[in-house]
């Protein structure tokens, strides 16, 4: 493989530990990164963001693009498209309430 060649596997490796801004868990492992394409030295992909992360969409796209360029210097351009991502709430506690956030209030 030539030094200037970039594959989809290279891109996936570069983003493997990229954290979702809402949960801090790996976005790739949670299925939030898809449609990864490499055309020459240009990379494009889609990043799914929940409604909680939507206000950070521009910053998150830029951060992910910078991560790819930093880890794959042979990449000349990166396009990150943000898309809605639905993550159902998980059961919480012994009674299994489904919640997205818990806010502790004290007085």
pTM of the model: 0.79
Query: CA distances (Å), 79 to each of 12, 34, 52, 60, 96, in order?
Result: 14, 13, 22, 12, 40
Q: Is the pLDDT of residue 91 over 90?
A: no
Instruction: Work out the angle at residue 77's Cα, subtended by the Cα atoms of residues 38 and 50, and round it to the nearest 5 degrees.
Output: 80
**Can you point out the beta strands (E) in the chain?**
33-39, 42-49, 77-84, 90-92, 97-99
Note the pLDDT tens digit of each residue in 4-59: 689 999 999 999 999 999 889 999 999 999 999 999 999 999 999 988 888 999 99
Asked if residues 92 and 99 have their Cβ atoms less than 8 Å apart, the reply is yes
- pLDDT confidence band for 100 (50 / 70 / 90): low
Q: How many residues does the chain have?
A: 107
């Amino acid at each position: 493989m030539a030094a200037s060649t970039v594959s989809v596997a290279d891109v996936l490796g570069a983003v493997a530990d990229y954290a979702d801004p809402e949960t801090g868990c790996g976005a790739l492992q949670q299925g939030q990164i898809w449609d990864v394409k490499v055309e020459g030295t240009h990379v494009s992909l889609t990043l799914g963001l929940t409604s909680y992360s939507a206000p950070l969409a521009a910053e998150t796209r830029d951060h992910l693009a910078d991560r790819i360029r930093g880890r794959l210097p042979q990449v000349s351009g990166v396009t990150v498209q943000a898309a809605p991502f639905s993550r159902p709430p998980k059961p919480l506690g012994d009674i299994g309430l489904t919640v997205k956030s818990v806010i502790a209030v004290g007085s």
